[in-house]
Structure 1
Amino acid sequence: MAVNMLNIEGLERLDPQAPVVMLNLMRFHARSRDGDGSGWDAYLRYSAITVPMIKARGGTLLWTGEAKVVALGPHAGNDWDFVALVSYPSVSAFLDMMTSEAYETQADPHRVNGCAEHVIIATSEAYSKFRTK
């Protein structure tokens, strides 16, 4: 992600050692901006590079799925194609990946080519039926 789009100031207000789940909302270009297939194809190339980066930092892909329709709330501007939940052991791990040279040079170009819009929202757990504490 272009570092200028990364909300480093906002992320630095979070506890750097706290676990975080990133909610990713994506809208794809019909065609990849580099002309190599569809926006989805470019996103698959991005994922092939980033999933190992996530795992190397102790993170995991929790869930992905197609966004089908806005069920409640404003429809305008909320026509997403794909959703992903990615867990990181810490905010620091996420920042380390997103600001790495490998991410910037190897992964991000595919994301930019594939995504017309990509929003990532940092979340913290409020409730989980799986909580063990």
Structure 2
Amino acid sequence: MAVNMLNIAGLDGLDQHAPVVMLNLMRFHDRSRDGDGSGWDAYLRYSAITVPMIKARGGTLLWTGEAKAIALGPHDGNDWDFVALVHYPSLAAFLDMMTSEDYEREADPHRVSGCAEHVIIATSEAYSKFKVK
């Protein structure tokens, strides 16, 4: 994600050392912008690069799945294709990855090529059935 797309001001107000789960909402292009398959194909290339980056920073991919239908709320603007929950041991770990040269050079071009829209929402835990290490 281009550094200029990160909401640094909003994230600066959060505890940099607290664990965070990032809710990712994605909508894919029918065809990837680089011409190499579908938007989904480009996203798979992105994931193959970013999952090791996440793990290297102590993070964990918790859950992914297809967004099937809006069950409650406005339909306009909420036609997502895919959802992912990613745990980071700290917000600082997330920012370290997202602002790294490796991410910018190797991963982000695939994300941009595949995603028509990609929103990441930083969350803090209020309740969890699952204990994240």
State whether TM-score is above 0.5.
yes
| Bin of the TM-score, shorter chain as denominator length | over 0.9
1:87 aligns with 2:87: yes
- Partner of 1:52 in structure 2? 52
**Superposition pairs of residues 55-70 of structure 1, within 5 angstroms:** 55-70=55-70
Alignment partners' CA distance in 1, 2:69 and 2:47: 23
SS of residue in 2 equivalent to 1:4: helix
- Partner of 2:34 in structure 1? 34
- Partner of 1:97 in structure 2? 97
SS of residue in 2 equivalent to 1:65: strand
Alignment partners' CA distance in 2, 1:57 and 1:81: 27
Alignment partners' CA distance in 2, 1:97 and 1:130: 24
- Partner of 1:11 in structure 2? 11
Per mean C-alpha deviation after superposition, the further-off stretch among 23-32 and 7-16 is 7-16
Q: For 1:33-66, what per-residue CA distance to the aligned partner results, in whole angstroms no more than 9, with x for missing partners?
A: 0000000000000000000000000000000000
**RMSD value, Cα:** 1.1
Q: For 1:2-58, what per-residue CA distance to the aligned partner results, in whole angstroms no more than 9, with x for missing partners?
A: 111100111111000000000000000000000000000000000000000000000
| Unaligned ranges ≥5, structure 2 | none
Q: For 1:67-117, what per-residue CA distance to the aligned partner results, in whole angstroms no more than 9, with x for missing partners?
A: 000000000000000000000000000000000000000000000000000
How much does 1:130 deviate?
3.5
Alignment partners' CA distance in 2, 1:12 and 1:97: 16
How much does 1:131 deviate?
5.2
| Unaligned ranges ≥5, structure 1 | none
SS of residue in 1 equivalent to 2:102: helix
Paired letter, 2:23: L
